[in-house]
Amino acid sequence: MKKFLTLLYFLSFMPFIFSQQINGHYHGRQISFPNIPGFITLVADFHMHTVLSDGEVWPSIRVEEAIRDGLDAIAVTDHIEYQPHQHDIPHTDRNRPYQIASSRAENRALIVINGAEVTRNMPPGHANAIFLEDVNKLNVKDSIKAFKEAKKQGAFIFWNHPHWEAQYTDGIAKLTELHKKLIKKGMLNGIEVVNDVTYSDEALQIALDYDLTIMGNSDIHGLVDWQYDLPSGGHRPVTLVFAKEKSAESLKEALFKKRTVVFFNDMLIGRSEFLVPLLTESIIAENANYVETWSGTTSIAKLQLWNKSDAPLILKNTGEFDFHNQGQIITLAKNTSMELQLKTLEKLEEFELKFEVLNAVTAPKKHPDITITVFVNQE
């Protein structure tokens, strides 16, 4: 009888446990986007902190959070110079965050990259160097020497939070002559257009004007779940990297080639050459037919429009056909479909859907246009 009651008690909690795994903490929080032609889409966060600088968690927690979020790669980038916990957690080897995190990630589907944050006053401000061989060699007084050492080690270097109000009180990212010099000498390769909960149009324009890789990262110090309200459907900002394969070497190559899109607060930001293919692969039209009524076939086409990505997409109809069952602006929820009806005026074997994607940008205040070809089922 005791065993039966124990089993009954356990079974009574099964729906709760299952719902948490599906809806709350595991499957529902994982970030996923389709591949684009010629590349696989890797989800990465290249800026985060632990208690080995000014963060609030041990490096292994960053690994567990990333795995729960479905990330393919992370860089633990603790501050080199700023060590507020050094009296409580003394350490002299600045490679320790990477060593601890990579050990935790061993034999798991997560790439851990050695990195660090060079923490200086403006200019040059803060910058992350990732794919480092030895962080300790960047622990020097002269900031330019730190950048030179990072480049010598083959690192990818990007400017952190250039719009940070602690350094620019108006929140507007501005290039200094020193930044221009670093860019010219190949010692500044990317720029964060998104950092934590902030986005900068000006940083995006700098990326486009100076041919820098577009980045978006969490810069997380506390818990990801709390900062981005993951249990209620939030998500951390990430950089989507279009790589040839899932490896550290391929990630590095893709970053230097500027093959990225940022996913932030249900918004997509990136160069048109990568953002448009991502959107085109995300939106799928299926099961197109013409509506039948008691009087016969109409010239109203109906179809299922799928969103195969984790970004809800706000679409403005810019095609030649009006919708019959929707307004001209629709929201296509993530990983789901909706029925769409269009007045094509005559029965067609195929036609095009054209949209402006309002929650995606390829330049400040510029939204991408996409075209989806629809093939009507022939019976």
What would the two tokens of residue 312 be?
């809800």
213-272 pLDDT tens trace: 999 999 999 999 999 999 888 999 999 999 999 999 999 999 999 999 999 999 999 999
Q: How confident is the model at residue 379 (pLDDT cuts 50, 70, 90)?
A: low
Calpha distance 44→267 (Å, rounded): 16
Averaged over 77-104, what is the pLDDT?
Answer: 93
Considering only residues 14 and 208, tell me which one the structure prediction assigns the higher pLDDT: 208
Residue 262's pLDDT is what? 98
**Tokens coding 367:** 């939204």
Chain segment 33-55, per-residue pLDDT in tens? 999 999 999 999 999 999 999 99
Q: Which two tokens stand for residue 139?
A: 């622990």
Per residue, the 3-state secondary structure of 161-228, as one string, reads CCCCCCCCCCCCCCCCHHHHHHHHCCCCCEEEEEECCEECHHHHHHHHHCCCEEEEECCECCCHHHHC
Count other C-beta atoms under 10 Å from residue 166's C-beta.
9
Dump pLDDT digits (tens) for 143-184: 999 999 999 999 999 999 999 999 999 999 999 999 999 999
Q: What is the dihedral of CA 311, 317, 321, 327, to 10 degrees?
A: 90
What CA dihedral angle connects 27, 28, 30 and 33, to 10 degrees?
Answer: 110
**Mean pLDDT, to the nearest integer, of 278-288?**
97
What the chain holds in terms of domains, given with CATH numbers, is: 31-265 (3.20.20.140), 279-375 (2.60.40)
In the chain, the percentage of residues whose pLDDT exceeds 90 is 87
**Quick one: CA dihedral 306, 312, 316, 322, positive or negative?**
positive
Query: In the predicted model, is pLDDT for residue 17 greater than 90?
Result: no
With a cut of 80, say whether residue 3 has pLDDT above it: no
Rounded to the nearest integer, the mean pLDDT of the chain is 92
| pLDDT value for 25 | 39
Q: Tell me the pLDDT tens digit for each residue of 313-340.
A: 999 999 999 999 999 999 999 999 999 9
Distance set, CA 75 to CA 112, 129, 168, 241, 350 (Å): 6, 9, 26, 14, 46
Give the pLDDT of residue 27. 53
Quick one: pLDDT at residue 18? 37
Res 4 pLDDT > 70: no
Q: Is the pTM of this model over 0.85?
A: yes
Give me the residues paired with residue 117 across strands: 79, 128
pLDDT at 5: 41
> How far does CA 195 lie from the centroid of its chain?
11
pLDDT grade for 8, boundaries at 50, 70 and 90: very low
Residue 146: its H or E element: helix 143-152
How far is Cα of residue 286 from the mean position of the Cα atoms in its chain? 27
| DSSP state at residue 320 | S
d(CA 1, CA 241): 56
